[in-house]
Amino acid sequence: MGIFSQKPVTFFSEKEKENIVSAIQQAEKMTSGEIRVYIENICSHTSPVERAKEIFSELHMYETHQRNGVLVYIAIKSRKLAIFGDEGIHQKVGQQFWEDAVQKILHHFNAKHFAEGIANIVLQIGNALQTHFPFNQQTNTNELPDDIVFGE
């Protein structure tokens, strides 16, 4: 059994899960944007971007006030991933930002640093969100949960 044969919920140690959630919380302290991480075994679509869009909708991520939610999607056994940003942030950073982010996370994954790669990309996304959607103490609320969502 290889590394990609595990269930997504047991793929990471408790410490690794805590580090990813901590990265989400740290990133969201800088911005009004929202970041979610979704991990499952099999991507049910040919395109991981299409699956990410589907999950984005299922998680109600289109409902953020400024349309600035970002989903990091990973299918462990399928070895697919996508980073999908809502229209508010996508209009600000453009397609190349997402493509570059995928390459950065793949660099970590190729070195078998999965949790570190996710945490690092979450923080980089947070920096981009901060540039375009800075945190405002008077108006900012945490619109979406910070936990990792594990699919099947």
Cβ atoms of 63 and 26 within 8 Å: the answer is no
Whether pLDDT at 129 is above 50:
yes
Measured CA to CA, the distance from residue 89 to residue 84 in angstroms comes to: 10
Cβ atoms of 6 and 42 within 8 Å: the answer is no
Domains of the chain: 3-150 (3.10.310.50)
Q: For 122-135, what is the mean pLDDT?
A: 94
Tokens of 118: 């996710």
Cβ atoms of 148 and 21 within 8 Å: the answer is yes
Q: Is the pTM of this model over 0.85?
A: yes
10 Å CB burial of residue 35 (0-12, 13-18, 19+) is buried
Whether pLDDT at 3 is above 50:
no
